[in-house]
Chains A and B, each alone.
Chain A
Amino acid sequence: MAAKRKTPVKSRNPDLIRGVGKYSRSKMYHKRGLWAIKAKHGGVFPRHDPQPKAPSAAEKPSKFYPADDVKKPLLNKRKPKPTKLRASITPGTVLILLAGRFMGKRVVFLKQLASGLLLVTGPFKINGVPLRRVNQSYVIATSTKVDISGVNLEKFDDKYFAKEVEKKKKKGEGEFFEAEKEDKKKLPEDKKEDQKAVDTSLIKSIEGVPDLKAYLAARFSLKSGMKPHELAF
């Protein structure tokens, strides 16, 4: 095949009406420059002989045919879109966690990860919430913001939070009866360092605002008379 053009060819023969072009065959011959191509190749159109095909491997008849016809599933070309972040959630926003171990805790939002989950930290010293991923749906965004400019978040992504793969142990009979539980896995030191690195500058900016530290240390709960649909967060 001839080399592809960079822009698609616009027809040199405008339509007078659908099916009828403005220029006749002889005029179009001249417009397309076929006379020039012929002249270049000595009065003859250039021919491209079909290239010899590479010999394809001989196909063996298959040994197995399924008894019933198996239907092929329909082709699915859907690509999920990246999770949209609510406009009320910006880096530094104080969020209220609504579910899970830290239900009710007020927490600082750091950034949205590639998986769509929100990266969040207590800070740990203030309310015990470590660097953690949280789903946007289980969160209330308040209008309180914390200054987050001094924090470097480059190294945190979804891979950082992946579970460590345990090596499978071959089970022997004796081990069934032994207490096989190891003691609780300790947090690796570098994760503790990461937590401290993120939290120190955060805590400084938090202590700059009066009462903010106590606010983040306290848990949120609905009291008598509070109507969530009438509350402003």
Chain B
Amino acid sequence: MPFKRYVEIGRVALVNYGKDHGKLVVIVDVVDQNRALVDAPDMVRSQMNFKRLTLTDIKIDINKVPKKKTLIDAMEKADVKNKWENSSWGRKLIVQKRRASLDDFGRFKLMLAKIKKAGIVRQELAKLKKETSA
């Protein structure tokens, strides 16, 4: 099982701990064995321990420590936002956020929808069972 995602300049990572939890950042330089210099369009360039980052599949084409404007342009060119939101990982996170922010009525409607879907699935399953047994 070789590694597929490497820490390299331009690697997009997800912050999984701390004040910037949940943000997508770009690794812009490596400080030492444990830390990277990290940047994102809406945050100040700062150092972060690798333990706080989870690498993603997305990589953009930049030089070491680009200016903010260059970074933003490169991210637009690689279309990081859309790639992320269409990936299954990104979509799961969006759904999690939406479910967490549901109010009580929303949770009730969600329950009704789940029951309905389960009912439909069970009906189809029963139909298939009847066909195979017949």
Contacts and interface: CB of A to CB of B under 8 A. Distances in A.
Co-assembled chains A and B? yes
Interface string A71-97: 000000000000000000000001010
A230 B102 CA distance: 11
A220 B104 contact: yes
A209 to B, nearest CB: 9
Contact of A143 (B103, B108, B109, B112): B103
Given A215-B108, A218-B108, A142 B100 contact: no
Nearest to A230: B100
B112 to A, nearest CB: 6
A211 interface: yes
B108 A211 contact: yes
28 contacts: A94-B104, A94-B105, A96-B104, A142-B103, A142-B104, A142-B105, A143-B103, A143-B104, A143-B105, A144-B103, A144-B104, A144-B105, A211-B105, A211-B108, A211-B109, A212-B105, A214-B108, A215-B108, A215-B109, A218-B108, A220-B104, A230-B100, A232-B100, A232-B101, A232-B102, A232-B103, A233-B103, A233-B104
Given A142-B103, A215-B109, A233-B104, 11 more contacts: A143-B104, A144-B103, A144-B104, A211-B109, A212-B105, A215-B105, A215-B108, A218-B108, A220-B104, A231-B104, A232-B101
Interface residues of B, number: 9
Contacts of B103: 142-144, 232-233
Interface string A144-179: 100000000000000000000000000000000000
A220 B112 CA distance: 14
A215 B104 CA distance: 9
A179 to B, nearest CB: 47
Contacts, number: 33
Interface residues of A, number: 16
A5 to B, nearest CB: 60
Contact of A211 (B101, B104, B112): B112
A214 B109 CA distance: 10
A204 B79 CA distance: 49
A231 B101 CA distance: 8
B110 to A, nearest CB: 11
A212 B101 CA distance: 19
Interface in B105-119: 105, 108-109, 112
From B101, B108, B109, name the one whose CB has the most chain A CB atoms within 10 angstroms. Answer: B108
Interface string A194-233: 0000000000000000011011001010000000001111
B55 to A, nearest CB: 28
Contacts of A218: 108
Contacts of A211: 105, 108-109, 112
Nearest to B101: A232
Nearest to B103: A143
Shortest Cβ-Cβ A-B pairs, 8 listed: A144-B105, A142-B104, A143-B103, A215-B108, A233-B104, A232-B103, A211-B109, A232-B101
